[in-house]
Structure 1
Amino acid sequence: MRKNEMGDKTNLIFSYGTLKRGFPNHTLIEDLIRTGDASFIGVYKTLSPYPLVCGPYRVPFLLNFPDKGKQVYGELYAVTPLGLAKIDDLEGLSKGHYERLPLRVVKEDEDENIKEVEAYYGHRNYAEEMWKRNGMIGQEVYSKTVAEGYVKRIDRPRDTTFLDQIRSFLSSTTSL
């Protein structure tokens, strides 16, 4: 960590999807690491099972339904308030795309040393429908295979909002 002020002003963020290494939005994390506004902590998993599902364009959503789904694997990052604001913007917090809420995680190969962190959950306004639309089956990890077919934000239709795209996905009957 290059910035001395990260200490007690650090947020721990659990990334389970496109912000992970090797995925399209990781460039934001790389930029934050370069400026000293983020650092990689390690690979972690949720303490309890949670649903990890895909929505429109194979966008991943963690749903705030503890004890449903599976333990989800992801990456833990320490971020400064500036880094957190940039991630909040990407995740559409102010637009109702995701909610940043508490989560308990443990290192991938441990079952102790629980960390209290935050994660971006699919918004409660559509979470139940998203869970049902995915057949109430969640993933353990957002892998390259699960992400196959992911469409970058820049390549999605611009004439509708992401929430409209979510609503359309939830009302469609085509297979995942």
Structure 2
Amino acid sequence: MAFENNRCTTLIFTYGTLKQGFSNHVLLQDLMRSGDAVSKGTYQTVENYPLVCGPYRVPFLLNMPGSGHRVTGELYAVSPRGLSRVDELEGTSEGHYERRPILLMPAGNGNKEEEDQVVLTCAAEAYYAHKSFEKEMWKKNGRKGFRIYSEKEAKGYVKRKDRPQNLSFLDHISIFISSPSA
């Protein structure tokens, strides 16, 4: 396994389309097959964060600790090669997302025995909406977020290849933010 030979050294928290059962998980499956990613299980944020949807039901975690909810997602250890591929998918060089630190804890089922135990936290990195539009995205979503990106929140998600190609993703975000709410 790649993690044992220390190739997979960066922990990334996935909360949206990279999770199992969603359209971009194929990237992580490919990275796991090549030894460039290892699944570490289901985790949740230690602090509350807003998790919202933007244009085409694309999920965004907003770097606004204290707002929203504890967000549940999946944790992966990735190699430098794997990290580069995920950064590319997330558009970090194009101003779509920013990879920044986040504190996580294993996601439990909330029973009393678990609450009495010491919960170990771990530091990872998450892909947050770029700071240039996060506050407007929070307002556009009525300052309401959700705890988990599930099939319900993903209903209406449009894959990148199926979106209008004449505009950049940042153009789509700008139009989404400035459009009247339904």
TM-score calculated relative to the size of structure 1:
0.96
In the TM superposition, residue 2 of structure 1 has moved relative to its aligned partner by: 3.2
Q: Which amino acid aligns with 1:89?
A: E
Within a 5 Å distance, the mapping from 1:131-150 to structure 2 comes to 131-150=138-157
Q: Which amino acid aligns with 1:82?
A: R
Q: Which amino acid aligns with 1:149?
A: G
The correspondence for 1:112, drawn from 111, 119, 127, is: 119
Q: Determine if contact 1:70/1:140 at 8 Å carries over to the other structure.
A: yes
> For each residue in 1:49-98, what CA deviation from the matched residue of structure 2 results, as whole angstroms up to 9, or x when unmatched?
00000000000000000010000000000000000000000000000000
In the TM superposition, residue 174 of structure 1 has moved relative to its aligned partner by: 3.5
CA RMSD of superposed structures (Å):
1.2
Within a 5 Å distance, the mapping from 1:24-173 to structure 2 comes to 24-109=23-108, 112-173=119-180
| Residue identity (%) | 53
Q: Determine if contact 2:140/2:181 at 8 Å carries over to the other structure.
A: no
SS for the counterpart of 1:145 is helix
In the TM superposition, residue 6 of structure 1 has moved relative to its aligned partner by: 2.6
Give the helix-richer structure, 1 or 2: 2
Q: Determine if contact 1:6/1:79 at 8 Å carries over to the other structure.
A: no
> For each residue in 1:124-149, what CA deviation from the matched residue of structure 2 results, as whole angstroms up to 9, or x when unmatched?
00000000000000100000001000
Corresponding residue for residue 2 of structure 2: 2
Structure 2 residue 18 is the aligned partner of structure 1 residue 19: yes
> For each residue in 1:95-129, what CA deviation from the matched residue of structure 2 results, as whole angstroms up to 9, or x when unmatched?
00000000000000166110000000000000000
Q: Which amino acid aligns with 2:86?
A: I
**Distance (whole Å) between structure 1 residues aligned to residue 180 and residue 69 of structure 2:** 25
Aligned length: 174
Q: Which amino acid aligns with 2:78?
A: V
Corresponding residue for residue 111 of structure 2: none
> For each residue in 1:24-50, what CA deviation from the matched residue of structure 2 results, as whole angstroms up to 9, or x when unmatched?
000000000000000100000000000
In the TM superposition, residue 3 of structure 1 has moved relative to its aligned partner by: 5.8
Q: Which amino acid aligns with 2:163?
A: R
- Over 3 Å off, 4+ runs: 2-5
Q: Determine if contact 2:102/2:126 at 8 Å carries over to the other structure.
A: yes
**Distance (whole Å) between structure 2 residues aligned to residue 3 and residue 127 of structure 1:** 34
| Runs of at least 5 residues in structure 2 that lack an aligned partner in the other structure | 109-113
TM-score calculated relative to the size of structure 2:
0.93
